[in-house]
Structure 1
Amino acid sequence: MSNTPLSEELKLRSGSVLKNRICKSAMNEAMATGDGRVVRQFEVLYRTWAEGGSGLLVTGNVMVDKRHANEPLAVAVEDERDMHLLELWARGAKSKGGQIWAQLNHPGKQSPKFLNGHPVAPSAVPLASDMFFPPRELTEEEILDIIERFANTASILEKAGFDGVQLHGAHGYLISQFLSPNHNKREDKWGGSLENRMRFVTEVYKAIRAKLGQNFAVGIKLNSSDFQKGGFTQEESIEVCKCLDELGIDMIEISGGSWENPVNRKGNLKESTKKREAYFLEFAEQLKENVSAPIMVTGGFRSQAAMEEAVNSGAVDVVGIARPLAVDPDLANKVLNGQGFVSTVQPITTGIKKIDQMAIMEISWYTDNIRRMGDGKSPKTKVRGIWSVIAVLFNFWKRGQTVKRVRA
């Protein structure tokens, strides 16, 4: 192993130790059954990534309520019915000494029409898209139930052998909806001031800690901003992070944007971002001055040099890698062995405006690669023009039909 800062261990507040500073960050696997059941392919997939050398593997979205899913074929864990398969999943992910954290999520109103005819949200504010039905405002009793569901799902996963969980507080899902003044118009203790708007996420965190204690890792993925006028700001994000830091959060992953404003897909990057490759590094540096919890940034890293510079500069403690690991699952080993790794991953466009705007190819091509690895196959390394478009659209349609049959 080469002398790289990425090979250094990182001790977390929970007491556990990450064997290196490379994390496979969350990507939706879309491999569950139509009603959210775990399948054997998760063990195969995560064993493949474990053999690739990453110190931490964060799963795709795990729903805390199977009635509310963010996309087709997402895993839902409400009880112990899939305990054996969850244990195999965790065992495969940990087979080379790394850790596995499950990303816990409730999508709120960001649940598509063909999955959910009755979405819920902090307030009855519709999304600016006809893909989603207008939501119903949550009652306080329902809010408390969802908080308990987060803790219940974490407890089941801990029993199965998972090392921790990551709360999905970014990208416009329920936690993010509570934090945003654009989406949270409540006048009770769950809305209004930032203190009230952050109450939901802090209560979720406290509920998990109360059930599982300090030795189980709990992290969060949080927007630096939702990049919307009158929305969740960087200043507010820092205050939320400071609060969670004081409560004992194990790691904070920085992200940004939402379905309505997918900042990562717009392509209009500043020169400083292009040079450093990753999004949100400047915000991570600001955050570092305000919190002591480890910081992770995901999005944009393509070269070993940029990954090492991010850690050496002190901007981040852990480098998050997503899509490059859907093309080259052995990426971490190559980086740690000092091979001067540079990923071949490039933005995917089809020339078909509607498809490109919705990022169907950007999302689905990598999802299909993930499913290939779950089937024990090697991932594809190149997009094959129109044939890839056809294959992706067919698989996207097929996943939707699977869910419709189950819900019929």
Structure 2
Amino acid sequence: MTTLQDQLTLPNGTVLANRIAKSAMSENLSNKTHEPTPVLINAYKKWAKSGSGLLITGNVMIDSKALGEPMNVVVEDKRHFEKLQEWANSVQETNTQLWVQINHPGRQAMDQINNVLKAPSAIPLKSKGRKKATTKIPEALTHEEIEDIIKRFGTTAAILKEAGFGGVQIHGAHGYLVSQFLSPYANVREDDWGGSLEKRARFVLEVYKEIRKQVGPDFPIGIKLNSAHFQKGGFSEEDSMKVIELLSEAGIDLIEISGGTYEAPAMMMGNRKQSTKEREAYFIDYIEKARAITKTPLMLTGGFRTVSVMQEAIASEELDVVGLARPFTLFPNIGNEILEESRSNFGVNINKTGVKGIDGMMNIIWYEAQIKRLGLGKKPNLKLSAWSVFFNYLFLIFKFKLTRK
């Protein structure tokens, strides 16, 4: 019977020490030049000692002109190469792999900090929370711009490999650019990049191929993929299954399953029917179907809180890796505690303001504040004020906008 303690060998031969992974979370801990900061690196040094087999960073942008958050790390050339090496070395002398999630936000770039938004089609974002609804209509990408973005994904991955990171993950979920191309709601193109699912999936497959060409066969490439977008006319479960088949055939090393977009944030809320609550994992029904069509290792993220449920999920062999995100911010030694069975539950209760519009943001920025505490050498604070987090975030946006003028 497979257990959380067991190693996992990926298709390219890379070995994960166990079945516990930190899924990507927004850290928002770069600076005005978008390099890794000591605070960010120190947070990963802390997590490197957590006993987990895999750490996946928050999204690193491939283009400084397309930012998801004001303080994203950007890797588009080697200008911060030494800092990248330092970040990659944060897991030295451990059995933990450190992968970088690489991303382009497309229309989901914050219009407060980006002068121009680019997307597959000129369809604006209608969302809540930090990615606020906007009247700004994105510009539809030209064929040449699409080719440039594909090349950028490969260049970024090659730089990260040279810096010493263990792998990369393409962010293909949560409504960012790859996800936008896959969605018939966001992608209404009538050329070779839109229309049928095969054409909508062309972008992600070309991104994968370009990365593989630049990093070679032995460097792990994963993807975070939506089970569905949970919105009318969007990327469906049937579409997602087909994309899994296409990526598996192409040779991807690890597929992480999530769901939703900022317009329909299932990655935050999940499927809350009673049976799902009891099993904790938001997208477990989907991954059972995915297991039937692919032998590629599958990672499931969203909802896991108790060790017994994690163990049962791995023992079922319907998934290969348990992904955890928010619990890492409050239980930084979580991998060891799971494997040693010194703690059985990792429930998290976020502090909120009571104002609906603001509390949507808390699902991200309250945890970013906890990551910053870790990077500053402080302990997590379960009583951290939501209002202080909110006003600190507003100040960050204001200060960033001043530096961009």
TM over 0.5: yes
**For each residue in 1:228-264, what CA deviation from the matched residue of structure 2 results, as whole angstroms up to 9, or x when unmatched?**
1111110110100100001110000001110111124
Q: Distance in 2 between matches of 1:334 and 1:256?
A: 28
Structure 2 residue matching 1:7: 3-state secondary structure? coil
Give the residue type in structure 2 aligned to 1:370: I
Does the CA contact (< 8 Å) of 1:4 and 1:338 recur in 2?
A: no
Q: Distance in 2 between matches of 1:127 and 1:233?
A: 18
Counterpart position of 1:120: 118
Structure 2 residue matching 1:297: 3-state secondary structure? strand
2:359 corresponds to 1:362: no
User: Which residues in structure 2 correspond to 1:364-383 (within 5 Å)?
Assistant: 364-380=365-381, 382-383=382-383
2:398 corresponds to 1:405: no
How far the C-alpha of 1:45 sits from its partner, in A, is 1.0
Counterpart position of 2:387: 390
How far the C-alpha of 1:267 sits from its partner, in A, is 6.9
Q: How has the CA–CA distance of structure 1 residues 10 and 265 changed in structure 2, closer, same or farther, with 3 Å as cutoff?
A: closer
Q: Distance in 2 between matches of 1:363 and 1:227?
A: 20
| Consecutive unaligned residues in structure 1, runs of 5 or more | none
How far the C-alpha of 1:355 sits from its partner, in A, is 1.6
Does the CA contact (< 8 Å) of 1:112 and 1:132 recur in 2?
A: no
User: Which residues in structure 2 correspond to 1:1-400 (within 5 Å)?
Assistant: 5-129=3-127, 130-131=133-134, 133-266=136-269, 269-356=272-359, 359-380=360-381, 382-384=382-384, 388-400=385-397
Structure 1 residue matching 2:59: 3-state secondary structure? strand
| Percent identity of paired positions between Structure 1 and Structure 2 | 49
Structure 1 residue matching 2:35: 3-state secondary structure? coil
Q: CA RMSD in A?
A: 1.5
Q: Distance in 1 between matches of 2:220 and 2:91?
A: 16
How far the C-alpha of 1:40 sits from its partner, in A, is 2.0
Q: Distance in 1 between matches of 2:33 and 2:399?
A: 9
Q: How has the CA–CA distance of structure 1 residues 94 and 194 changed in structure 2, closer, same or farther, with 3 Å as cutoff?
A: farther
Give the residue type in structure 1 aligned to 2:52: S
How far the C-alpha of 1:60 sits from its partner, in A, is 0.1
TM-score normalised over the length of structure 2: 0.96
How far the C-alpha of 1:377 sits from its partner, in A, is 1.6
Does the CA contact (< 8 Å) of 2:124 and 2:134 recur in 1?
A: no
| Consecutive unaligned residues in structure 2, runs of 5 or more | 128-132
* Greater alpha carbon shift after TM alignment, 133-142 vs 88-97: 88-97
**For each residue in 1:79-131, what CA deviation from the matched residue of structure 2 results, as whole angstroms up to 9, or x when unmatched?**
11111111111111343121011001000000112111210000111112434
Q: For this pair of structures, how many residues does the alignment match?
A: 400
* Greater alpha carbon shift after TM alignment, 80-89 vs 143-152: 80-89
Q: Distance in 1 between matches of 2:268 and 2:161?
A: 34
Structure 1 residue matching 2:126: 3-state secondary structure? coil
Q: Distance in 2 between matches of 1:141 and 1:260?
A: 28
TM-score normalised over the length of structure 1: 0.95
How far the C-alpha of 1:166 sits from its partner, in A, is 0.4
How far the C-alpha of 1:344 sits from its partner, in A, is 3.3
